[in-house]
Structure 1
Amino acid sequence: MERAPRKHKASKSASKDIISRMPKNVIMHILDRLPIQYAVRTSILSSNWRFKWTLLSKVVSDDKFYEYLKRLGRENWYDELNIAITTSLVFHLVGHFSKLQELYLDLRMCKFLGELGAEKWVRTSFRCLKTLVLYPIDFSSDIKLSFAFEMIWGSPELPTLIIVATYNDAIPPPAFCSSALNHISMGQLKLRIVELKSFGGSENEIYLIKNLLACSPALKKIVIFADPSQIFGGENGKLMFATKLLEFHRASTAAQVKIYWS
């Protein structure tokens, strides 16, 4: 008499799909190699992957991302439409990425809106962020400058900062002023390397540099790439810009400020 074949019960681990059993670090490596729009789409793979995209350690909003948005709408979307956003919205969205280490924000297609109750320093803390790139920041706009300050001081462990400046107005703007913005109330930063590009020597740029120097005890260097033809005040403005930087208090005795006139 032949024995009936045994029915083996599938183990719990075998019943799970492979992608749900991958280690967290492997998942992060996979997500980091995908454009953000595709990383978010992984939420449909399974219930376990619904929020895996929040493990992204690198977020880039660049031309490729905007081109993707363009393909979703009409053909001339990229050329004629600015995205209206607020600082709160950016912080809310970026705040979902608990493991975020690198953030590249291309703000050329973004129009910032004013908010009631602004200057609530700081709404969110990005403690894992290691590299922050903001381009371009319009230093003639209080709203965008405030946004830049909030992003910087919302990243207390940030070692590397890169900012590209721009000016929508050819006339030097009035100096940015806020009683909430100073190195005493804003706290300390872990900045080590700062790159400031396309700077023109305006009071707002000087104000930012002054606070970065005063708040960064681990700072090694601030590298400023400036175009002499864009310096406000011509040759005299160039000299005044360099002289003011030498006068600022530095929390780090090792901090160097280098200016490259390109």
Structure 2
Amino acid sequence: MSLVFFSLLDFLNCIIDNHKRRFVTPAEEDRISQLPDNLTNLILERLPIQDAVRTSILSTNWRYKWTTIGSLVLDKNFSEKFARNGAFGLNGFIRTVNQLFNYLKGPILKVYLYIPNMFLDSFQEVDQWIFSVSKGHLFVAENISNLLPNKANSLKILKIVNINFGDMDQLQGALCMLRNSPNLEQLHMMNSQMSQHLRFDVTPALRYLEASNCLGQTLIQLKTIEITRVDGSRPVLLFIKLLLAHSHTLEKLSIQPNVTDVHQRLNIAKHVMQFPRASSKAELLYLNP
């Protein structure tokens, strides 16, 4: 199966790359056009989104095939490329992402979205994107502040990258998503590498995390938690403590520190192991940096 799949994928890429140099022969067009829709979607979902869109030039039959994909990956390379054109300008980041969501017809089951570091007047667009995928299972974002809470009801997998646990806006955004995700089963978080190099007052975040009603809800479906780039700072440790105290069905907690000093790594492990766990069967995995 894998050999056949990659053969078809390579064949599709070959047609796209050579389209401008020659016409596709009827035999080639028939071979790729007669594939079942589910296999076509699998191929398109594994292509970079730019290449998937380019398949619309193959023929009339292929013009709208890419619009039915259920998985959309807008990674760092994609986002930063269009961010160079600004947010709302021609081929700008916001405008391009909006166009992609508007073209997609079927249910969106998975979205990977990297939001570049750029100035935005508000996060209204991000709210709208979350609304677009509110019936899906995965949302990924770098900046999670000001996300509308009622958009997370159907989330089963949540991945948040580059979160600064000492930043009140980002911290409140993350906890807001958790409070309003009753069906969440997997949580993946990546600590921001920049947070340890920036000097800012983390006192409000610490007070917020230490409050008895900080989360205010039991995570009744959460089974897997993965947190990477753990630097041992107090906000990060308190956040882990909070999750352990509210995850009654937790089966596995994976932690990957980003410190190489042996004593620092042991100190992080010591703190985490001493935190009370709501789930008696929760397994702790401490990964190498």
TM bucket by the smaller chain?
0.5 to 0.7
Contact 1:57 1:97 in 2 (8 A): no
Identity %: 24
1:84 to 116, 120, 123: 120
Does the C-alpha gap of structure 1 residues 69 and 187 become closer, same or farther in structure 2, counting only changes over 3 Å?
same
Report the RMSD for the aligned CA atoms in angstroms: 4.1
- Specify every segment of 5 or more residues in structure 1 that has no aligned partner in the other structure, as ranges: 1-24, 40-48
Q: State how 1:38-57 maps to structure 2 within 5 Å.
A: none
Is the Cα–Cα contact under 8 Å of residues 56 and 100 in structure 1 kept in the other structure? no
TM-score norm. by structure 2 comes to 0.57
* Contact residue 149 and residue 177 of structure 2 kept, 8 A: no
2:154 maps to 1:128 = yes
Question: Which ranges of structure 2 fall in alignment gaps of 5 or more residues?
Answer: 1-37, 54-63, 94-115
Higher strand share: 1
Matched, 1:253 2:283: no
Amino acid at match of 1:66: S
Matched, 1:93 2:134: no
**How far apart in 2 are the matches of 1:59 and 1:101?**
12
Q: Please tell me whether residue 168 in structure 1 is matched to residue 199 in structure 2.
A: no
Question: Aligned equivalents of 2:217 and 2:165: distance in 1?
Answer: 20
Q: Kindly tell me: are residues 162 and 95 of structure 1, through their superposed partners in 2, closer, same or farther at Cα, counting changes over 3 Å? A: same
Q: How does 1:137-176 map to 2 (within 5 A)?
A: 137-166=163-192, 167-170=194-197, 173-174=202-203, 176=206
Per the alignment, residue 16 of structure 1 pairs with: none
* Aligned-partner residue type, residue 214 of structure 2: N
Tell me if 1:69 matches 2:74.
no
Aligned residues: 211
Q: Does the CA contact (< 8 Å) of 1:134 and 1:163 recur in 2?
A: yes
Q: How big is the shift at 1:197?
A: 0.8
> Aligned residue for 2:3?
none
In structure 2, what is the equivalent of residue 13 of structure 1? none
If the length of structure 1 is used for normalisation, what is the TM-score? 0.61
Are positions 1:223 and 2:259 aligned together?
A: no
Q: Deviations over 1:123-170 (max 9, x none)?
A: 315232222111111223221122222223322211111111113343
- Contact kept, 8 Å, 1:192 with 1:221, in 2: the verdict is yes
